[in-house]
Every structure is written in structure tokens, then in C-alpha cells.
A and B are shown apart, each in its own frame.
Chain A
Amino acid sequence: MKKALIIVAALTLAPTFAAAESFEKAYLKARAMYGQGAVFEWQGNQYVATHEEESEANVDATEANAQMMIDKAKAKNKEVAALGFEWKLTGDILKKAEAAKADGDYRKALDLAAQAKYHARIGIQQYHYAQSNWQLSVPE
């Protein structure tokens, strides 16, 4: 929870943050330009642009792991729903993840659950961003 909030804050404020480029900004830039697995440097260290959820799903494709990832995604989606910012397709992705798990395709279940969890996390960021930036498009 704490960690999610920290990342939200970093992302929300990145454009107004005049000092050194934030980690989040550097990460997003690398990912945007070169895709998953892009290597980038930040404050002298090298990192790889892999989403938190992608590395969480990068475990053995077992039923237990698939279930754990699905549970995490569901919990995250509940959080974003409580804020009124749940995305339209996330519920369906979760259903597909559960179907894949039932079919024994644990890899697919893990990947789908990772996407659902990512959607929920970014929806939470979107909510926080909206709280302080919704007025940008109001005609004055």
C-alpha cells in the first residue's frame, strides 16, 4: 500500500519536479521508447524497464502462483473500484485469468492477472492525478 502511494506521488508530480529526473520518469521514458526490457541509467545505476507486475508474474507457472497473482490483482482492482476509477475491461481479464488457471494454463493465467493488476494500479494513479489536475481543461 505504502509503496503504491509513493509511486503515485512520483508520477503525478514528475512534470513539475524541476530537479534531477525522477526514477519514475526515467523508467517510463525508457519503457516508452524501447519497450519491455529496455535498459536505462538513473543516478549512476543501471535498471531494466520491467513493470512491477511483470516481474511478479515471472515465477514458476504453478497453480498456487497463478492463484496468488489473481488474488493480488483482484485486491488491487477492489482498491481502484472504491475510488470510482475501475476500468471497463479489468473484470473480464480477471475472468479469463481464472479460466486459464482452471484449464491448467498457469503461464497464461499469471500474465493475464499481471495485466489486470497493472490496470488497477494505473487506474489508482489516474485517480490521484485527476484530484490535482482535473481543472486543467476548464475554460477560463
Chain B
Amino acid sequence: MQKLKTSFYAAGLMAMLSAGTAQAVDKAELIAMGKAVYLNKSKGNCVSCHQIEDADATQAGNQGPPIVAMKQRFPDKAVLRAQVWDATVNNPLTIMPPLGKHWILSEQEIDAVVEYVYQF
């Protein structure tokens, strides 16, 4: 455990650094990717349950709350990310799949979809 801990720490710092750079360079790209994740049935398929003010999100379902006022509802973007990653933490019975915990989406795809919905 001790040995693992130190190697994890170093790897983590490097990952954070590279993630920071990517974010600065490609925010628009990230949002475009997030939109694709939101709409794609074999990716996030968020549109099946959440309405959103995007003309491309047709026939959205309503099992979950609509994507509105995200900045007010989630002042801390990381809290929103955690909700996408595993919604069962707040409600064990939720119909929402744990997109991160069950590795349905990659960590980057989760970052992307969070960026996309955070605009609304």
C-alpha cells in the first residue's frame, strides 16, 4: 500500500498537469464532444431522459429533470460531475446509470458532457 501510494501521487500530479493544458486549448472541442455524448444512444444518451434547450435534442424524454439553470443548481462544477459519474450516491434507486462508476463513458467524455450541459 505504501509503495503504491507514492507512485499514485506522482502519476496523479502529471495527469492533473496534462489535463489542465488540454482544457485550456480545447474547450470548444470539448463542448462539441459533450454534445455528441449527450445525444448518442451508445454513449451518454442523456437526451432519452433530460430535456435541453438545444434544437438537435429532439424528442427528449422526461424521466429526469430538465437541463436548466445548471450554474445556479451546481455552483461547484465538480458536484455536477460527481452526479453524472454516479447518481446513485444521492439516490440509490435512481434510473440514471452511473456513467463514470460503471465506465460507460470515459473520464474525458464525462468532462466533455459536463462542459456541454454547464452552458444551459
Contacts and interface: CB of A to CB of B under 8 A. Distances in A.
A10 interface: no
Contact of B92 (A29, A49, A136): A136
Nearest to B17: A37
Interface in B1-48: 4-5, 7-9, 11-16, 19
Contacts of A46: 5, 9
Interface string A41-52: 000011111100
Tell me the interface secondary structure of chain B in the complex: helix
Contacts of B11: 37, 48, 50, 58
Interface residues of B, number: 28
Interface stretch (B50-58, B62-70, B80-88): B80-88
Interface residues of A, number: 27
Given A29-B82, A32-B86, A35-B19, A50 B102 contact: no
A33 interface: yes
Tell me the interface secondary structure of chain A in the complex: helix
Contacts of A49: 12
A32 B76 CA distance: 13
B78 A34 contact: yes
B85 A39 contact: no
8 contacts: A29-B89, A31-B85, A33-B85, A36-B15, A37-B16, A39-B13, A50-B11, A136-B93
Interface of A: 15, 28-29, 31-39, 45-50, 55, 58, 115, 118-119, 122, 133, 136-137
Given A33-B79, A35-B107, 6 more contacts: A28-B101, A32-B86, A34-B81, A35-B81, A36-B107, A136-B92
Interface of B: 4-5, 7-9, 11-16, 19, 78-79, 81-82, 85-86, 89, 92-93, 100-103, 107, 110-111
